[in-house]
């Protein structure tokens, strides 16, 4: 006679083998989705870094460096001299934060919109809107500009 305990144990390896395929597929799917999400947010992080660098260069009057972060279509319109005329001498930023971020793919690259607030060292706050295309600034709006003490904008 056969022992029922031995029969149960002989079924276990095959049950385990049957379960491993669906479990492996589920884990692979979760990993793939996580990688997609990580890449999407990675692009946004890069765009936030570009926007912060642009704003920091502007406040430091490093206009050539700021122009390097502009999309070619905007760079051709503005140039370093144009940024100096637009911004004048603004206060350095104490904090730059983007509370709203939106990205989606387009035929000509990733398009990102960032909305937030920049606070100058004096406490003056500016609303920030930056649009990026392919990781470069396509348009921006900083309202109001916070002039350095003793300057007019």
Q: Which residue has the tokens 């603004």?
A: 90
Paired tokens of 18: 């049957």
* In the chain, domain spans: 4-143
Q: Which CATH number fits domain 4-143: 1.20.120.160, 3.40.50.720, 3.40.50.300, 3.10.450.590?
A: 3.10.450.590
| Structure confidence at residue 145 (pLDDT) | 93
What does pTM read for this prediction? 0.72
Q: Is the pLDDT of residue 101 over 60?
A: yes
pLDDT reading at 9 higher than 70: no
Is the separation of the CB atoms in 67 and 75 below 8 Å?
yes
Of residues 126, 110, 130, the one with CA closest to residue 118: 126
pLDDT tens string 107-142: 777 899 999 999 999 999 999 999 999 999 999 999
H helices of 60-127, where? 63-67, 72-87
Residue, of 42 and 30, whose pLDDT is higher? 30
């Amino acid at each position: 006679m056969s022992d029922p305990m031995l029969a149960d144990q002989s079924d276990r390896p095959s049950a385990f083998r049957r379960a491993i395929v669906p479990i492996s597929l589920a884990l692979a799917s979760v990993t793939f989705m996580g990688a997609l999400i990580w890449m999407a947010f990675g692009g946004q992080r890069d765009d936030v870094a570009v926007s912060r660098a642009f704003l920091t260069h502007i406040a430091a009057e490093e206009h050539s460096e700021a122009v390097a972060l502009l999309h070619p279509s905007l760079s051709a319109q503005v140039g370093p001299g144009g940024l100096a005329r637009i911004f004048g001498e603004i206060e350095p930023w104490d904090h730059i934060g983007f509370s709203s971020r939106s990205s989606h793919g387009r035929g000509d690259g990733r398009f990102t919109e960032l909305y937030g607030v920049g606070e100058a060292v004096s406490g003056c706050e500016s609303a920030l809107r930056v649009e990026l295309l392919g990781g470069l600034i396509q348009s921006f709006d900083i309202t109001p500009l916070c002039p350095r003490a003793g300057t007019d904008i």
